[in-house]
Chain A
């Protein structure tokens, strides 16, 4: 892809008539980088997804990437991905047949063929994991997802906001043990799925929010796979400053550039909570504090919220351009912290109710991303 094309695509809402493309082995590193940036520090390291997809693509060839407008309106879309702990998924790798099992069970439950596989979460490893299933099944990959980023729970999917039922939810594992969860509301699906995930060994795969293409067109975040691909491709260009590249590609704001000087972590109720402090490298003594709960939830400076969920906050290695997941944050890293707006739907009152600061126990209201302090009227020497 040329630079002009890459830049053209992100600038506005994704063009539904964007040229068809496919995902081949050579695209995987770029897709992984893009997914990691969109993961907001969570969602797991995409590398394991790259390894699995590479095997599948080498055997079965490239996977078509299709927009929802290119699929028949009454076709059945299967949103799917990994649930549970990414750390377990890098040790107990998948069988590879899980996707086929999800599709078979889905087709039995609905009596309809699945026409395409959709990642329910673009951020982190889940942007790539369903790709190996698509390759093995010969199904296209939908250029959309249910989050536009990474989030920890099932209610935090755009399909929920659009009123698509989460039930039936199909879970399976490498043994092809299969569980169908039927509930009346997503909160129960979440509760039963989490408990079952522990029984499956701490990680499993799931398909839920089964819907037809017409519904998916209004219930998902369109263009997220191409967005990740374009972003990763731009980040892989040599010579450019990686943080500037992300800022350009995503219309992101650079919150700070400097060094991680403190990281605190604790495990509470199944999530990694903690905070990290980044000190700016201009000698002005600015400090940015990141609030973490699996993902980066908020960035605060001088007691003011500079950015918070549902907007995406990502820490990027200043030298290599590699996004740094929250589990890997440590003293001394040279980083840039960037923020960019999450999908519009999350900033509605309904969206904020499930994915805003309050939904994560933070005691402040949603605050749009604040540009650099120099633009906020703060007193600066220069």
Chain B
């Protein structure tokens, strides 16, 4: 018997989905369980259900991939967060905006064990803003000893050189012992405030990451499974467990990327629009070359401004459970109680699912909504169609007609004819596209550099960035033979006499299977 199966799990707002695929990514089993407030119970239930669907041979599962909302929930609820010693290396620069100045006060109170700015940091040409002040850094770590159970270190232009961050890390470890240390050059991109925020969140989430990893392991071990464990990150690619423990903040928004990657997989189409219609909301994004197109705009997480690369999405408060009432459509939804509350299931709440049943788009439930509801339902469906069409048009990044892949449990809401869409693809197994996205995930690496170059230096700079990204992907668990560059972005810096460019390269490859 071959040991070659992969288990993918994705925690959504309404349901936690699980799938098992074989080494050719063929779907063998799928299951859904309601998402629970603690998240972990729902994950265990979905594993239980998908193994029941799989039947014999669960021991063949060698890899398990989890996309979870634990990290996002912890930040929003300000719970389970570690106390972080926040060190910024940049003095005498950067004092004008102190560390955590942009955090909401309650979150700052929940995570900060102390903040300071010490001398040091890097100029964009690689020289020093000032020599790194190791002595003051050591004194700061001594002062917070006993209060801090994690450390976040951010140096000016750590994307140009990480040397001051690495020196500070060594000091943190010698003073504080075996403590979690987050380094900004591994977490975020150019933009000191946003990167520092992300680095502090990352350190604060170290405990949450350990809890998740442990409960995931236990849920698997309960079924006598011992697969290699991975977590999906914001861009839809995978991190090995060890990597995820170090960079939990990179998993904070993995859901949309999972469903978009899954949509590419179930449809076999790599360039398309994707609409993921759930119970409460709909997200529309764009796939290019099988990966979601990312936004360069700042992303707010729990009230904190960060600069993560997340899929660029147009979000609508519309889903299968959306309540049809007097006012505007959405965001009120019956959620997972659809099968008790909706008219079609014998309940008393008119929903968009009832509108779709009434309009002949889907045949679910036990009964057709009564005639007296039909006018309002038809009107709601027309309004939903208009909102979807608008969102789909807004999401487009290139001109012309494109195919639209519809996934998610509420996909029947999308009509067969949408302006600007060449064809609507409703692939089989679309309702578990997000868990499939997790199961088939690739492993990626990403680097960002600011480089100055004269004529001819551009190609060398890009090649260097690509090579670093490739190495990073391989370190994170990608197969070196099949790791490719999937994205290169170059943005020239305005108002400089010598040409300089911000270069970002991203590499991705399938899991290295041993």
Contact = CB atoms under 8 A, between A and B. Distances in A.
Interface of A: 42, 44, 48, 51-52, 54-56, 83-88, 90-97, 132, 152, 173-176, 194-195, 197-198, 201-202, 259, 261, 265-272, 279, 294, 319, 326-328, 330-332, 334
Given A265-B491, A271-B494, A201 B125 contact: yes
A327 B193 contact: no
Nearest to B130: A175
Given A51-B193, A90-B192, 10 more contacts: A52-B97, A85-B496, A94-B94, A95-B96, A175-B129, A201-B124, A261-B399, A266-B492, A270-B498, A294-B495
Q: Which 6 A-B pairs have the closest CB atoms?
A: A267-B492, A174-B93, A332-B397, A96-B96, A93-B94, A94-B96
B157 A91 contact: yes
B398 interface: yes
12 contacts: A51-B97, A51-B101, A85-B495, A87-B450, A95-B93, A95-B96, A174-B95, A174-B129, A195-B497, A201-B124, A261-B399, A266-B492
B93 A92 contact: yes
B92 A95 contact: yes
B421 interface: no
Interface of B: 90-98, 101-102, 121, 123-125, 127, 129-130, 156-157, 190-193, 296, 394-399, 450, 491-502
Contact of A85 (B95, B121, B396, B500): B500
A93 B190 CA distance: 12
B92 A176 contact: yes
Contact of A84 (B96, B399, B491, B496): B496
A91 B92 contact: no
B422 to A, nearest CB: 17
Contacts of A319: 394
Nearest to B307: A90
Given A87-B190, A174-B93, A202 B124 contact: yes
A55 B498 contact: no
A86 B95 CA distance: 17
A328 B502 CA distance: 13
B494 A272 contact: yes
B125 A42 contact: no
Contacts of B491: 265, 327
A206 to B, nearest CB: 13
Nearest to B397: A332
B98 A55 contact: yes
Nearest to A56: B96
Contacts of B193: 48, 51, 90, 93
Nearest to A265: B492
Contacts of A271: 494-495
A272 B492 contact: yes
Given A85-B493, A95-B96, A328-B296, A268 B192 contact: no
B494 A86 contact: yes
B123 A267 contact: no
Contact of B90 (A92, A265, A269): A92
Contacts of B395: 332
B92 A175 contact: yes
Most buried by A among B98, B130, B156: B156
Contacts of A328: 296
B18 to A, nearest CB: 34
A155 B193 CA distance: 33
Nearest to A295: B494
B88 to A, nearest CB: 10
Contact of A90 (B98, B191, B496): B191
A194 B497 contact: yes
Contacts of A327: 491, 494
B154 to A, nearest CB: 11
B50 to A, nearest CB: 37
Most buried by B among A44, A86, A267, A279: A267
B92 to A, nearest CB: 5
Contact of B129 (A92, A96, A152, A272): A92
